[in-house]
């Protein structure tokens, strides 16, 4: 009996000790969790804004961090940059070791890969990006792969882009021109002549970006083979799988001749090749009638109208087309210098899967930066616009994360979102869709070729250079810089890819 009592006593002591240890352990876990929440991983998220760059992002950051710290233990610093020098700023930040965790490409993913400026994401996606993988889908993720590794995530949006004339609807109506009669770039000369006659101080066709008249956007069925769409090198045209220099195509020659004609007639401003004053600013101040840019869907004009405060609409100048660049032109990557790649992936995943997060990044704070019209639509607060609210990046709606999780601006139909999703699968598609070029063996050639393109293309694109004189010069200079080697290497890699994929 005494032995039995001692045994019970011993068991009680063990039980008590275990209980105390468990309590201590539980307490330590709680303290550990609290410590973790008080020391979240900090990351920098950079994105381009086509609106003005906000002076202060702290309020929006706080609203984001009120969600992210409890949810994924990540604290976010926003770093919006202007469109005119976004790529240069990102490159400089990465090269100088400045803190930059997440950024997006603007048509030049293969260059970031070849320069080892971005890290492979496959393991990170499998662990912390499962929702994003499911949303974007394997087919579109292939557009950001190189040598079997995934280096970025394409923004989820309407991928099938079509060139559009974005125009002042009130002026078009006043001139008696029906947009139904505008089918292609060939229908614009007569329209611009009327604008010039009626409004001599207004630019009929304004630059969407510096040195970009929009004429090259109207080239039919071009696959840029993962080059920067504004500075391409070697491309495919139509159904052909023969790689050619972009600058030796008949379409390029035809379009720059149109630009030259418009320039000589005063339809394009004399400083369009160098000016930082872009189309939306000119339209909002009654100094610009229209511009040409590529959009998915049919109703992006509502966004431009909200931004400029002017009645704006748009009309397609050609049908949408799907190439690899259509999908991966805007792709989200994690910098190779990131010290917190897991935290970066967790936040990137939320930009695709969490409606509150993506709408905070794009639209800012409800009541201060926008007001809700209904469950799906927003507009600026009364008396405010895109230039006077403290924060907005609404023109970056097709760049940040998942566009289909975002609010629409008042006047934009939700049906347009459905059209975009439909055209993602129904549009004409390049035979090289899914092919990503590896330019790592041609760094010197790309650098030399880009110097030539930067020298000539803005002037040819906006008509300030005479193509009859300068086209032979750029072609010759590009050959001397290594364009033929780029063409040959792209052809070699494309042929191997086509064979591997039985195409």
Express each pLDDT in 156-174 by its tens digit: 998 888 999 999 999 999 9
48 within 8 A of 106, measured Cβ to Cβ = yes
- Indicate the helix (H) or strand (E) that contains 21: helix 2-38
Higher local confidence (pLDDT), 64 or 86: 64
CB hemisphere CA count around 368 (13 angstroms)? 10
Q: What mean pLDDT is predicted for residues 460-471? A: 98
11 pLDDT higher than 70: no
Nearest-5° Cα angle at 497, 492 to 498: 100
Q: What is the pLDDT of residues 468-494, one digit of tens each?
A: 999 999 999 999 999 999 999 999 999
177 within 8 A of 52, measured Cβ to Cβ = no
Q: State the Cα–Cα distance between residues 181 and 188, nearest whole angstrom.
A: 10
Q: What mean pLDDT is predicted for residues 448-476? A: 97
CB hemisphere CA count around 169 (13 angstroms)? 13
301 within 8 A of 312, measured Cβ to Cβ = yes
Q: What is the pLDDT of residues 263-311, one digit of tens each?
A: 999 999 999 999 988 898 899 999 999 999 998 888 888 778 877 889 9
503 pLDDT higher than 80: no
Q: What is the pLDDT of residue 291?
A: 96
Strand order in the sheet with 408-409: 371-372, 377-379, 408-409
Q: Other C-beta atoms within 10 Å of 479: how many? A: 17
Q: State the Cα–Cα distance between residues 261 and 212, nearest whole angstrom.
A: 15
Q: State the Cα–Cα distance between residues 372 and 212, nearest whole angstrom.
A: 35
Higher local confidence (pLDDT), 118 or 436: 118
pLDDT band at 16 (very low <50, low <70, confident <90, very high): very low
**Would you call 382 exposed, middle or buried from its count of C-beta atoms within 10 A (0-12, 13-18, 19+)?**
exposed
Q: What mean pLDDT is predicted for residues 398-415? A: 86
Mean pLDDT for the chain overall: 89
Distance of CA 22 to the CA centre of its chain: 51
Q: What is the pLDDT of residues 170-229, one digit of tens each?
A: 999 999 999 999 999 999 999 999 999 999 999 999 998 889 999 999 998 999 998 888
Q: What mean pLDDT is predicted for residues 47-53? A: 88
Q: Other C-beta atoms within 10 Å of 10: how many? A: 10
pLDDT band at 10 (very low <50, low <70, confident <90, very high): very low
What is the model's pTM?
0.74
68 pLDDT higher than 50: yes
Q: What is the pLDDT of residue 2?
A: 40
Helices (H), 39-57: none
6 pLDDT higher than 80: no
Report the share of the chain in percent with pLDDT over 90. Answer: 66
From the list 124, 127, 123, 81, the residue with the least C-alpha distance to 100 is 81
303 within 8 A of 217, measured Cβ to Cβ = no
106 pLDDT higher than 90: no
144 within 8 A of 150, measured Cβ to Cβ = yes
Q: What is the pLDDT of residue 385?
A: 86
Q: What is the pLDDT of residue 37?
A: 57
Q: Is 146 helix (H, G, I), strand (E, B) or coil?
A: strand
Q: Is 127 helix (H, G, I), strand (E, B) or coil?
A: helix
* Partners of 377 in beta bridges: 408
Q: Other C-beta atoms within 10 Å of 273: how many? A: 22
Q: What is the pLDDT of residue 57?
A: 96
Q: What is the pLDDT of residue 367?
A: 95
Q: Other C-beta atoms within 10 Å of 181: how many? A: 10
Poorest-pLDDT segment among 16-25, 35-44, 146-155, 447-456: 16-25
At 177, give phi and psi (nearest 5°). Answer: -105, 130
Q: What mean pLDDT is predicted for residues 77-85? A: 90
The tokens describing 135, both together, are 């949303």
Q: State the Cα–Cα distance between residues 326 and 40, nearest whole angstrom.
A: 36
């Amino acid at each position: 009996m005494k032995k039995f009592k001692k045994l019970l006593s011993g068991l009680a002591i063990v039980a008590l000790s275990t209980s105390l240890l468990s309590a201590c352990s539980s307490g330590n876990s709680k303290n550990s969790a609290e410590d973790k929440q008080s020391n979240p991983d900090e990351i920098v998220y950079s994105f381009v804004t086509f609106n003005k760059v906000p002076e202060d992002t702290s309020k929006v950051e706080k609203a984001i961090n009120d969600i992210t710290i409890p949810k994924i233990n990540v604290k976010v610093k926003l770093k919006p940059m202007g469109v005119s020098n976004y790529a240069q700023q990102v490159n400089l930040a990465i090269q100088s070791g400045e803190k930059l965790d997440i950024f997006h490409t603007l048509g030049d993913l293969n260059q970031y890969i070849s320069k080892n400026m971005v890290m492979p994401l496959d393991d990170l996606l499998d662990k912390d990006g499962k929702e994003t993988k499911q949303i974007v889908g394997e087919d579109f993720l292939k557009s950001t792969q190189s040598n079997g590794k995934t280096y970025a995530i394409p923004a989820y949006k309407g991928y099938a882009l079509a060139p559009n004339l974005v125009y002042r609807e009130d002026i078009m109506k006043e001139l008696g021109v029906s947009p139904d009669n505008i089918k292609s770039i060939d229908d614009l000369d007569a329209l611009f002549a009327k604008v010039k006659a009626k409004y001599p101080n207004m630019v009929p066709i304004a630059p969407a970006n510096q040195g970009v008249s929009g004429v090259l956007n109207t080239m039919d069925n071009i696959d840029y083979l993962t080059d920067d769409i504004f500075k391409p090198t070697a491309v495919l045209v139509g159904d052909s799988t023969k790689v050619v220099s972009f600058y030796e195509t008949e379409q390029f020659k035809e379009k720059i001749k149109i630009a030259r004609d418009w320039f000589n007639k005063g339809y394009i401003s004399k400083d369009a090749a160098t000016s930082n004053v872009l189309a939306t600013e000119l339209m909002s101040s009654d100094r610009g009638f229209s511009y040409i840019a590529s959009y998915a869907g049919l109703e992006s004009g509502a966004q431009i109208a909200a931004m400029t405060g002017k009645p704006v609409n748009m009309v397609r100048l050609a049908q949408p087309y799907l190439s690899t660049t259509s999908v991966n032109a805007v792709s989200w990557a994690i910098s190779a210098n990131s010290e917190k790649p897991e935290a970066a992936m967790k936040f990137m995943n939320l930009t695709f899967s969490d409606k509150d997060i993506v709408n905070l990044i794009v639209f800012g704070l409800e009541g201060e930066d926008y007001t809700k019209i209904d469950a799906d639509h927003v507009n600026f607060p009364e008396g405010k616009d895109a230039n006077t609210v403290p924060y907005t990046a609404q023109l970056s709606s097709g760049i940040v994360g998942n566009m289909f999780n975002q609010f629409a601006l008042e006047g934009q139909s939700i049906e347009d979102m459905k059209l975009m999703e439909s055209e993602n699968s129904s549009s004409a598609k390049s035979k090289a869709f899914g092919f990503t070029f590896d330019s790592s063996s041609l760094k010197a050639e790309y650098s030399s070729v880009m110097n030539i393109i930067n020298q000539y293309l803005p002037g040819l694109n906006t008509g300030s250079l005479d193509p009859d004189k300068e086209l032979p010069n750029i072609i010759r200079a590009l050959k001397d810089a290594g364009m033929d080697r780029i063409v040959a290497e792209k052809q070699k890699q494309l042929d191997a890819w086509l064979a591997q994929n039985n195409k």
